[in-house]
Amino acid sequence: MTQTTAMPQTTPQRTATPRHYLMCPPTYFDVVYAINPWMDPSSPVDTAKALAQWEALRAAYEARGHRVDVIEPEPGLPDMVYAANGGIVVGGRALAARFTHPERAAEGPAYDRWFDTPAAEGYRRLGEAVETMEGEGDLLLIGKLLLAGTGFRTTPAGHAEVAERLELAEQGIELIPLELVDPRYYHLDTALSVLDDGAVSGETVVAYHPEAFSPAAQETLRRLFPDAILVGADDAAVLGLNVVSDGLHVFLSERAHDYADALKERGFVPVGIDLSEVFKGGGSVKCCTLELRPDATATTTEETSR
Ligand code: ARG
C-alpha cells in the first residue's frame, strides 16, 4: 500500500546528475553479532554471492555515469560493507562516524583514513566524530536541509557536532531532527528515501514509511514534504526505502514492487537491485553507498554539491 499524497498537477522532468560514491566490497561480510532486528547470526551468509551482488550494484552506478571509489575492506569488520555509515560528506567537508556499538567502532577510523588517500583529493578530512554519529545512515541531505535521524543510533549531541564541524550554518543548511521509533527502522535511511532535491526539476521529493517516525517527526515530514510518497509496511519491510537516487534513476531493492510503481508515476526510473546477502545484516542499496559531495564553491567540474 504505497501511495502518493496530493499528486502535483504535472510531473516535472527528472534529470540525473553525476555523483561520486564510496563503496566497500563485502569481502569480510558476515552476520556474527546482532545489533539490529534483521541480523540472525545463525543464518549463513554466502560471501561469494554477496560480492557478486555488490559488484552488480557498483556496475549499475557506473553504467549511469557515476564515479565509484572503493575503500579497502578490513578483516574483523563484517559490517564495513555499509559504507553509508562511515561518515558524512557535505560541501567537501568529511566527518567520519562514531559508532553506537563496539563491534563497529573500528570502522570510524578506517573511513577517516580513507579521506587521506589520493582518491579523496578535494575533500577536507575533519577526523572522527566525538559524539555518536552513524554517517549517512542517519543523515540525509536534501537541498539545503539535512534530515537527521535519532532514537536508536545517532544522538542529538551527534547532530549538534555535525552542524558545528560541517559548518552547516555557513553553508546555509538547516538540520532537521527526526525521531525514529521502530527498531526495525533503526537508521533514517531505512525509513526515508531522498529522491529529488529539486535543484533541476524544481520539485523536492522524498518517500517515507510514516509509522517508523514519532508523531512529532511525522508532523515535521508532512509540513516539509506535503507531496511525499508514503511507503507501506510491505515495501518498508524489504528495506525498499533504502535507496540511492541520482535525481532520475532510483536504485532500490527489486523486492519493493509498489514503491517502484509509485516512483514511475512520479517520473523516476527505478533500477531494481538484488542485495539478498547484505540484507541479512539489515541493509540494502543506500547502506552500501556513501555519497561524497565536493565543495561547490571550490570545484570547476560539473559535479556540484547539491
Ligand atoms: N548491521 C549494520 C548495523 O546494524 C547494518 C547497517 C546498515 N546501514 C545503513 N545505512 N542503514 O549497524
**Domain spans of the chain, in order of start:** 3-305
Degrees (nearest 5) of the Cα angle 158, 161, 162?
A: 85
Which string of b and e fits 88-121 if b means at least 16 CB within 10 Å?
bbbbbbbbbbbbbeebbeebbebbbebbeeeebe
Strands (E), 156-303: 174-179, 192-197, 204-208, 229-230, 244-245, 249-253, 269-273, 290-291
Q: What is the pLDDT of residues 58-80, one digit of tens each?
A: 999 999 999 999 999 999 999 99
Q: Quote the pLDDT of residue 11.
A: 84
- Write out the catalytic residue numbers: 187, 287
28, 277, 287, best to mutate for ligand 1 pocket (most atoms within 8 Å of CB): 287
Residue spans of the chain under pLDDT 50: 301-306
Contacts of 63 (CB under 8 A, 6+ apart): none
All cell numbers assigned to 73 = 575492506
29, 30, 43, 79, best to mutate for ligand 1 pocket (most atoms within 8 Å of CB): 79
Q: Quote the pLDDT of residue 84.
A: 98
Q: Quote the pLDDT of residue 1.
A: 57
CATH architecture of 3-305: 5-stranded Propeller (3.75)
- Per DSSP, what are the bridge partners of residue 179? 150
As a whole number of angstroms, the distance between CA 196 and CA 102 comes to: 35
Contacts of 19 (CB under 8 A, 6+ apart): 61, 66, 67, 246, 291, 303
Q: Quote the pLDDT of residue 305.
A: 44
Contacts of 230 (CB under 8 A, 6+ apart): 2, 3, 4, 5, 207, 208, 209, 210
Instruction: Rounding to the nearest 10 degrees, give the CA dihedral for residues 65, 29, 242, 179.
Output: -130
To the nearest whole percent, how much of the chain has pLDDT over 70?
A: 94
157: enclosing H helix or E strand: helix 156-165
Residue 282 CA, closest ligand 1 atom number: 5
97: enclosing H helix or E strand: none
Q: Quote the pLDDT of residue 2.
A: 62
Contacts of 110 (CB under 8 A, 6+ apart): 71, 74, 77, 80, 86
Q: What is the pLDDT of residues 139-159, one digit of tens each?
A: 999 999 999 999 999 999 999
As a whole number of angstroms, the distance between CA 299 and CA 221 comes to: 32
Residue 39 CA, closest ligand 1 atom number: 1
Query: At 221, phi and psi to the nearest 5?
Result: -65, -40
